[in-house]
Amino acid sequence: MTYQVLARKWRPRSFEDMVGQEHVVRALANALERGQLHHAYLLTGTRGVGKTTLARILAKALNCEQGVSATPCGQCSTCREIDAGRFVDLIEVDAASRTKVDQTRELLENVPYAPARGRYKVYLIDEVHMFSTSSFNALLKTLEEPPPHVKFLLATTDPQKVPVTVLSRCLQFNLRRLRLDEIESRLRHVLSAEGIDVEAPALPLLARAADGSLRDALSLLDQAIAFGGGALVESEVRQMLGSVSGDLAFDLLDALAAGDGAALLQTVERIAASAPDFTELLRELIALLHRLALAQQLPESLATEDPDRVRLAALTEALSPEDVQLYYQVALHGQGDLDLAPDPRAGFEMVLLRALAFRPARDAAPVAPPSPPGASGARPGGAAVRALAETSRVLRDAAPASTMPSRIEPRVDQVAAPALASTADWHRLVASLGLRGLAAELANHCALDAYAGGCLRLRLDPAAEHLNIASTQERLRLALEERLGQPLRIEIAVARPEQETLARRRQREAGERQREAEATLREDAVARALRDEFEADWVAGSIRPLDPDPSLH
């Protein structure tokens, strides 16, 4: 018996079999049950999401011998012939091969004639955007007022190229790209029905490679089964797709988290030995960073059955959210570098090294001084600095409790701890911290509630609640401890502050300076003369105060 590829064998035969297009199926099923049938439908979406399949199911629903309904029997001769692609009243046209207006007119000549066997004559025009302008013009009149026995089903991957005059005559349904979990579930169902052994980690690889297309996923599954000799094995799927082991992708992030350039390049060397597709590897790294960002912001998103749960949890502690966002952006923009680099590996290495080079400096990390010009010997590298930091940490942890200082000692050059009893004291303290980024924004949007017994209670403006994350709180706490010269515990309540925050004060002062600048310009004699002479007015928003915001200094 001739082998039938999985994409054709498992093509949906009814609305119930459709995957991921519930919004379209529901609308069509309700229309069929209520008899509210439009004469023309336009199905849009990327390749492999079910446009043509949905059109064929709709043709069966219209012509089933059991009657028009959302559940065609699938057993009558009409349903079987439509499934086999030989039903005489289902005219399938590939617009890409019939772009000439004469071919369109020839197609439409038979529209007035009644169907030979079915209830409706159905014209299924695939990739309709490939029609020429003349072909669209020839189709317009028929599309607007077809005979009652004719239905037009148009499908396209590029609806922007379809004239608005055609769009206005059709009911348009947008088929969406399928989610990874939907593709995985369908592949698992197919493999179970086919009796094929599968390693579970191989399915997400195929789902990601399919890029939202179920047809592509089934085609890749066919290829992977052939490649694996009748089974689906993760290592062989990775080899087929040109990707690498998920452990190696985690190793790359571990090296980035440690700031270890040598380990990073050694991992790339191990990866290169398997001749991977570096473009696909970079995409896998981007997907991993996305999962990591979700795990940091929404820990509950980590499924208990996720095989990568332990390593993801470890990386959420090792990398700050700022680092994850930076690496994500560097990797995202670095995708274009791989085509421009001398070879893909060099481009991939440069993306990783760029992420390492632009990683924000850590306040606690010692900085190695540069070697003077002409000095002999190697300059201390990152490994030496990290070794020194690690040694210090080990010695500190191993020291007896009696030798540990009971409080944080102020620096020699540090002035006395500032008073902290009023809103003005809090504003002066925040301005003196020298914070930047999210920690500075968090401090600026907080107001002092109380400070006693080493506990600082703050109120955070609800509009800035998104700033209240653990890593940002910790940076603020460390800066305040250093400035106040004593251990500190911070409690932040999200509630509208009773006192004015530094951010609101700056906003108010900026507004006052702006209004003063506008008033000065209105009262200026030269400015008034210019306005009267040219019968003009100032462009809204163009007036700026001369004195800059003092908070910027």
233 and 275 together in one domain: no
pLDDT tens by residue, 526-540: 888 887 888 787 776
Would residue 490 count as lying in a domain? yes
Token pair of 191 as six digits: 């493999």
The residue among 390 and 249 whose pLDDT is bigger is 249
Per-residue pLDDT at 402 exceeds 50:
no
Which of 323, 342, 357 is a domain's end point?
A: 357
Among 190-194, 267-271, 519-523, which is the least confidently predicted range? 519-523
For residue 143, what are the contacts with CB-CB under 8 A and spacing of at least 6? 39, 40, 152, 166, 169, 170
Most confident among 148-152, 269-273, 470-474 (mean pLDDT): 148-152
pLDDT of residue 379: 39
CA-to-CA distance for 205 and 220, rounded, in angstroms? 10
Indicate whether 237 and 261 sit together in one domain: no
Residue 101's pLDDT band (cuts 50, 70, 90):
confident
- 189 with 163, same domain: the answer is no
Residue 157 CB-density burial (10 A; 0-12 exposed, 13-18 middle, 19+ buried): middle
**Do 14 and 127 belong together in one domain?**
yes
Pair (268, 346) in one structural domain: yes
What is the distance between the alpha carbons of residues 179 and 190, in angstroms, rounded to a whole number? 17
pTM above 0.75, yes or no: no
pLDDT at 331: 92
- Residue 190 Cα distances to 53, 179, 186, 203, angstroms: 18, 17, 6, 12
Q: Is residue 382 one of the residues assigned to a domain? A: no
Name the residue range of residue 161's domain.
6-174
Strands (DSSP E) contained in 85-169 are 90-94, 121-126, 150-156
Where residue 228 sits, what CATH number does that domain have?
1.10.8.60
pLDDT exceeds cutoff 50 at 193: yes
Alpha helices in 273-364 (DSSP H): 278-297, 309-318, 321-334, 337-340, 344-357
**Domain-embedded: residue 236:** yes
The residue ranking higher by pLDDT, 394 or 141, is: 141
Q: What phi, psi does 456 have (nearest 5°)? A: -110, 115
Does the pLDDT at position 128 exceed 80?
yes
**Which uninterrupted H or E stretch holds 493?**
strand 489-494
pLDDT at 70: 92
Rg (the chain; Cα; Å)? 34
Over residues 364-392, the mean pLDDT reads 42
Any idea how long the chain is? 553
pLDDT reading at 395 higher than 50: no
Q: Let me know whether 215 and 269 are in one domain.
A: no
Q: What is the mean pLDDT of residues 286-305?
A: 83
Q: Is residue 122 part of a domain?
A: yes
As a whole number, mean pLDDT of residues 57-79 equals 92
Which DSSP string corresponds to 362-377?
PTTSPPPPPPPTT--S
Lowest mean pLDDT of 378-382, 519-523, 543-547, name the range.
Answer: 378-382
User: Is residue 548 in a domain?
Assistant: yes
Average pLDDT, the chain: 82
Q: pLDDT (tens digit, 9 = 90+) per residue, 431-478?
A: 888 888 888 888 988 998 888 878 888 988 888 888 888 888 888 888
Q: Specify if 146 maps to a domain.
A: yes
Q: Looking at per-residue confidence, does 26 or 303 come out higher?
A: 26
| pLDDT at 246 (0 to 100) | 64
Looking at the structure of the chain, the number of domains it has is: 5
| CATH number of the domain residue 132 falls in | 3.40.50.300
* Domain shared by 250 and 327, yes or no: yes
**Between the ranges 311-315, 379-383, 408-412, where is the mean pLDDT highest?**
311-315
Instruction: Judge if 141 and 168 occupy the same domain.
Output: yes
- The string of DSSP codes covering 396-450 is HHHS-GGGS-SSPPPPTTPPPPPP-SSHHHHHHHHHHS---HHHHHHHHTEEEEE
pLDDT, position 547: 60
| CATH label of the domain that carries residue 280 | 1.20.272.10
Is 389 part of a structural domain of the chain? no
Question: Dmax of the chain from CA atoms?
Answer: 100
Per-residue pLDDT, averaged over 237-254, amounts to: 78
Same-domain check for residues 109 and 12: yes
pLDDT of 204 reads: 85
Last residue in a domain, options 241, 267, 287: 241
Is the pLDDT at 228 greater than 90, yes or no?
no
pLDDT of 366 over the 70 cut = no
For residue 451, list its beta bridge partners: 456
> What's the CA gap between 253 and 257, in Å, rounded?
6
| Same domain (yes/no): 124, 38 | yes
For residue 467, tell me if it sits in a domain.
yes
Collect all residues with Cβ–Cβ distance below 8 Å to 187 and sequence separation of at least 6: 203, 206, 207, 217, 218, 221
pLDDT score at 244 = 62
**Domain finish residue from 193, 223, 241:** 241
Domain match, 135 and 218 both: no
Whether residue 133 sits in one domain with residue 14:
yes
Q: Report, as an integer, the average pLDDT of 312-330.
A: 89
